[in-house]
Structure 1
Amino acid sequence: MYPFGHMLLSFIYTDSVERFHISAFILFVLAQNILEAEGPWFESFLINTLFVYVCEMIIDIIKHSFIAKFNDLKPIAYSEFLEDLCKQTLKMQTEGSKKNLTFVPLAPACVVIRVLTPVYAANLPSNPLPWRLFWILLFSAMTYVMLTSLKVLIGMGLQKHASWYVNLCRKRNHHLHAD
């Protein structure tokens, strides 16, 4: 492992969490646009969202280039870090792993709840209280099912990618040492 490996791994992890937070904030902006925007706004919203993600990626590329250059890290270090993260995802024991990286979803969950509350409130029918409670419970249940399904799908995708990448690394290491 490289001497600055854990620092670089921390930067990579922080970047992925930051992208998730940006996605939650973009969801907030989308909800606000649904509630308040008039006229054709969706195309400009998509262009601005793409612009935010592209700028974030450019900043990360520049940041990691400087870190790698001034700490004399080779590009293979990123592959090794990705392999370690994939092994953590698969709950495989890695040699020399001092800490497992975890994701605490409390802040993004609060943002999602904050975003969806006015959207649901704006779409509640003005029926008597029992019907309003029914719709609130229905919207809450739908949100819970959607978020749980999204979590399961992302988890399955991460597991599949992690197993694919670990197998690829094993084949690559096997071919390198086969002589």
Structure 2
Amino acid sequence: MSWPIAYDCMRGAMMAQCLWLLQHVQMSRVYHYIRGQSMIKLYVLIGMVEIFDKLMCSFGQDALDSLYWSTMRSKKRLTLLNFVIVCIQSTLHSLLLFVHITTLTVAVNSSDQALLTLLISNNFAEIKSAVFKKFDKQNLFQLSCHDIVERFKLILFLGMIMLLNIAHGGDDHLLAQFLNIFFLVFGGEVLADWIKHAFITKFNMLQPSLYEEYSMILARDITSCRKDDDNILDHTHLVARRLAFATLPLNCVMIRFLQIAAPRLRSYLPAVSPARLATIAALFYLIALAAKLLTGMLLMAHSYTLQCDASGGGGGGGARASPLPRSPAPGGHKSRKELSLEKLSTIARFTLWRGRIV
């Protein structure tokens, strides 16, 4: 077996192992246990879960990289050790995210909405802790990476909570109430991010054009897989690594919540034969696969467009410009923007820069 196939098989085994352990976690028991706690305890629990989530994201990415390189170099003992470490880390991270989503479910479904108010106010506490600190463009890039992942997780978590509420027989009134909560929580997150970034750039005299450079770094990460013949991973690997985006635990938790909601959702459907149900499931899988491929192609095309525009080849009907940055002429010098992009390319979400990590 070649090492690329072995690496993919190990990742599949990790996912199967995490799903098997999550099968033994009863959400109803966890939900009612968390619901019986006081509001202050729940607020502290959410804060602790968010902190450990960041630590798990940082450690998990390093563990996956170690497994990748030990597999490529055919070091069997080291590969086995790294595989065990990644399995333990992925399981703990999946359980952590499971508790996080369950706690948010309690907050959303609480009658007094007091905990939900505290969650929204936590966004503005984040503003206070960020705007009065010194930032340079590297630290601001780290903060931007953090906000990208945080928004995506919030949308995913709220979407799974809405799915569970629908599966448990929520009527139209409760669904409308949840949609109001969804837009309130996500709107508060977006508004807090806007205020935070606006005043950080103002107080530190940073140009808004820096965000174009940040987009360029992520675009290069997406397109770089086409230039590396030895790269076996897809075009999202480098972006996920830079953003510290843990895909494996999120996939496991999402599949587990779909398993919880599926039997109840099926009860609302008219009686269908198992063959027709299997056909519907296969069609749903094909649609999801097509959506994934289409999204990947759109991301790749958008990334190439960004780099073509940056290299001066965005318009006209002449020869197509290369999306890669132009190499300086012999004896020439790189532009200030190229030097800035080279320095930014060394920064990831949890890179220690000037003694701190944002």
- The answer to whether TM tops 0.5 is yes
Partner of 2:303: 162
Partner of 1:112: 254
Structure 1 residues 164 and 75, CA, compared in 2 at 3 Å: closer, same or farther?
same
Show structure 2 runs of 5+ residues with no match: 1-134, 228-238, 268-272, 316-358
In the alignment, which of 41, 58, 66 is matched to residue 199 of structure 2?
66
1:172 deviates by 8.3
In the alignment, which of 144, 160, 181 is matched to residue 28 of structure 1?
160
**Percent of residue pairs bearing the same amino acid type:** 26
Summarize the alignment of residues 82-93 of structure 1 with structure 2, pairs less than 5 Å apart.
82-91=215-224
Partner of 1:19: 151
Moved more, 143-152 or 80-89: 143-152
Q: Distance in 2 between matches of 1:84 and 1:11?
A: 14
Q: Distance in 2 between matches of 1:63 and 1:14?
A: 13
1:142 deviates by 6.1
Q: Which has more radius of gyration?
A: 2
For 1:105-154, what per-residue CA distance to the aligned partner results, in whole angstroms no more than 9, with x for missing partners? 123212311321122122457xxxxx88x96x778756654554443233
1:22 deviates by 0.9
Structure 1 residues 106 and 152, CA, compared in 2 at 3 Å: closer, same or farther?
same
Moved more, 147-156 or 27-36: 147-156
Q: Distance in 1 between matches of 2:146 and 2:287?
A: 26
Q: Distance in 1 between matches of 2:313 and 2:197?
A: 25
Structure 1 residues 4 and 49, CA, compared in 2 at 3 Å: closer, same or farther?
same
Structure 1 residues 26 and 149, CA, compared in 2 at 3 Å: closer, same or farther?
farther
**TM-score scaled by length of structure 2:** 0.38
- Is residue 2:137 matched to residue 1:5? yes
Show structure 1 runs of 5+ residues with no match: 94-98, 126-130, 175-179
Kindly indicate whether structure 1 or structure 2 has the higher relative contact order, using CA contacts under 8 Å at least 6 residues apart: 1
Structure 1 residues 113 and 143, CA, compared in 2 at 3 Å: closer, same or farther?
farther
Report the number of matched residues: 162
Moved more, 17-26 or 3-12: 3-12
Structure 1 residues 82 and 123, CA, compared in 2 at 3 Å: closer, same or farther?
closer
Q: Please say if residues 141 and 214 of structure 2, whose CA atoms lie closer than 8 Å, have aligned partners that are also in contact.
A: yes
Q: Distance in 1 between matches of 2:213 and 2:313?
A: 12
Q: Please say if residues 28 and 115 of structure 1, whose CA atoms lie closer than 8 Å, have aligned partners that are also in contact.
A: yes
Q: Please say if residues 83 and 166 of structure 1, whose CA atoms lie closer than 8 Å, have aligned partners that are also in contact.
A: yes
| Aligned alpha-carbon RMSD (Å) | 3.5
1:52 deviates by 2.5
Q: Distance in 2 between matches of 1:13 and 1:72?
A: 20
Moved more, 31-40 or 139-148: 139-148
1:25 deviates by 0.7
Structure 1 residues 22 and 146, CA, compared in 2 at 3 Å: closer, same or farther?
farther
Q: Please say if residues 25 and 111 of structure 1, whose CA atoms lie closer than 8 Å, have aligned partners that are also in contact.
A: no
Q: Distance in 2 between matches of 1:88 and 1:26?
A: 29
Corresponding letter in the other structure for 2:171: E
SS of structure 1 residue aligned to 2:171:
coil
SS of structure 1 residue aligned to 2:246:
coil
Q: Distance in 2 between matches of 1:18 and 1:145?
A: 29
SS of structure 1 residue aligned to 2:173:
coil
Q: Please say if residues 28 and 111 of structure 1, whose CA atoms lie closer than 8 Å, have aligned partners that are also in contact.
A: no
1:48 deviates by 2.7
